[in-house]
Chains A and B, each alone.
Chain A
């Protein structure tokens, strides 16, 4: 049995990639792990007082989002795991792929205005991730 690592932010736009990951896990009989990366680099531009432990708050929010994804998987008979990491997306994806010994990493296609990456950027991320981790990366 292999392992599929699916990076997700949650939100309506991520549901397609979550569903694809669930379907793939069902088809291959693989273990599925959803990954949420707490990346607070967007705050680097802000000089307003940041006295709040933002990472902890976002981690809690991320766990909530992953729990929703796990429920979707459970509804389709898949018991999915959840993993939250703190740091920059690319580095944490790489580290998570290695630590979980994933066979396949799934990234979502950019959808509508909600997307963080454009198509070229996501493909570039997938290529570099595959090269550096030696794990198969698929954009779904």
Chain B
């Protein structure tokens, strides 16, 4: 055990060192470049796309007399380039810019600039905009992504396998197809990896370990049992308390874990009360999907949005929690009204022996571990809230919490590594690459421009379009790939729509994507997981069963969420 802990610490130290080296490498590279700069003629400029985004890795070639190349370089991450020209007399010079998926451009250098070059000075060109070009690579990336979405929505493949297939198609087209037809090239592997957001990966991984320790203690089953005890047979009160517990748990853990913990005990409570478990489970699912929106760590979509937009834990807490609370209130009222007949018809208490069995299921199994885990989780929440002040990113807080759990609460390390759901991490990595391919070929730009044209710079219209399109689409396609695709689109709209600089559009995406998951059974993972467990207990949640409650509930909560965003911003 000691050796295992030592190995973990060494591993983490290595990860931190590599991470710091990776983070600092651009600075070192820049310093090295500055140090090697020599005075002389040169042409500097910046390449941008039609959305004003920098175009990196474009080939920039200076062509002199008789079409002879005299210097070449590639554009940097910010789109800038510097052509170091040899000292000579220039009477003609053309800068050619080429990049897959863009129309190539030739910029002739005017005589005044040539004179400056001839006197060994550098000239700066105005921003050079490259027009997008629809290539065969565009269709490969787009159709691969659509295939991934379909395979996930129709449950033909595991999500991770589907995403990996999408990446394989894109990389296969780039490396194999690109050798035959250069227009099939999308990106190389290094570029594909650059799209992976390791903040998200580490945050999700750290939280998995933390949650795995907490869930062993039985705290959630205990809470569910206490709600049964407190409600004293008043079903409406029981549902209200269970929805509150589920939403708070979902805000602090992820929604799937919450429902995996709550579903079995809720079924037992329902059976004890002589009611159909679906009347408890469906409200819990809905509350879970809504409650998760209130924090950065509550839903995968929030984790994606927070990391991409640089939003902290407090940003979500301040800007979304009041709206979420209002939506939960509306949802609870809707549920109590919707199920009033089922709740009134419940009856037929089980025997004392069965009630005793329920009590056993709802007890805290490891109180000592719960105390320690509770202290660490409390500290983590403090760090999440205060971390913004000293630039502590949530991923680091999650990793610190995970290490503290491993060292102090001392769970079995092999067990902990086992509970890290690597398929989820691989899913995120593959998804980032697949969305990166869409960015490379320009599909994201096309979507962003289309939405920009549709809303015409009107902030309210943009909020409405984002919230409701996200809500409706999340009911039919998985909301994680959807949110990942929309991130660069929302970034563009945030820059271009007047008033959006407040960040409101990020929250609009969060509200729409997460609440929309409630509209259908396939809209979000907690829905499917709960349905699976319920079926194992002999109570099937059909698509229609869910739709009848979930769709109107989505309308109610999204309306309240939209009103909140319009008031807040």
Task: Say if the beta carbon of B257 comes within 8 Å of chain A.
Answer: yes
Per-residue interface assignment for chain B, residues 253 to 286, with 1 indicating a CB less than 8 Å from any chain A CB and 0 otherwise: 0111100110110011001000010000000000
Q: Which residues of B contact A40 (CB under 8 A)?
A: 532
**Among the listed B207, B254, B354, which residue makes an inter-chain contact with A71, where contact means beta carbons less than 8 Å apart?**
B354
Contacts of B419 in A (CB 8 A): 51
A43 pairs with B350, CB closer than 8 A: no
* A49 sits at the interface (CB 8 A): yes
Interface 1/0s, chain B 489-532, versus A by CB < 8 A? 00000000000000000000000000000000000011011001
Complex Cα spacing A68 to B273, Å: 13
CB-based contact B159/A51 at 8 Å: no
The residue from A47, A53, A63, A67 contacting B427, defined by CB atoms under 8 A apart = A47
Contact of A9 with B264 in the complex, beta carbons under 8 Å: no
Q: Shortest Cβ distance from B292 into chain A, in angstroms?
A: 12
Closest to B266 in A: A61
A117 vs chain B, min Cβ distance (A): 12
Task: Check B271–A48 contact: CB distance below 8 A.
Answer: no
A113 to B276: give the CA distance in the assembly, Å.
Answer: 14
Is B124 an interface position by the 8 A CB rule? no
A48 to B257 CA separation, bound complex (whole angstroms): 8
Find out whether the CB atom of B155 lies under 8 angstroms from the CB atom of A61. no
Q: Which residues of the other chain, A, contact B542 by a CB distance below 8 angstroms?
A: 113
B211-248 CB mask vs A (1 if < 8 Å, else 0) is 11001100000000000000000000000000000000
Per-residue interface assignment for chain B, residues 555 to 568, with 1 indicating a CB less than 8 Å from any chain A CB and 0 otherwise: 00000000000000
Residues on A with C-beta less than 8 A from B216 are 53
Q: How many residues on the A side are at the interface (Cβ–Cβ under 8 A)?
A: 38
Q: How large is the interface on B (under 10, 10 to 19, 20 to 34, 35 or more residues)?
A: 35 or more
Q: Would you call B540 and A52 a contact (CB within 8 A)?
A: no
**Chain A, residue nearest B351 (CB):** A71
Q: Residue on A with the closest CB to B431?
A: A47
Within 8 A of B (CB), among A30-83: 38-40, 42-54, 57-58, 60-65, 67-68, 71
Interfacial chain B residues near A71, Cβ < 8 Å: 350-351, 353-354
Distance in Å from the Cβ of B225 to the closest Cβ of chain A? 12
- Say if the beta carbon of B538 comes within 8 Å of chain A: yes
Binding site for A on B (CB under 8 A): 155, 158-160, 204, 207-209, 211-212, 215-216, 254-257, 260-261, 263-264, 267-268, 271, 276, 300, 350-351, 353-354, 357-358, 361, 419-421, 423-424, 427, 525-526, 528-529, 532-533, 535-540, 542
Given contacts A12-B538, A45-B159, A47-B525, 20 further A-B contacts (CB under 8 A): A9-B535, A11-B539, A12-B276, A42-B528, A42-B535, A45-B528, A46-B529, A48-B300, A48-B525, A48-B529, A49-B207, A49-B254, A50-B260, A50-B421, A51-B421, A52-B261, A54-B260, A61-B268, A67-B357, A71-B354
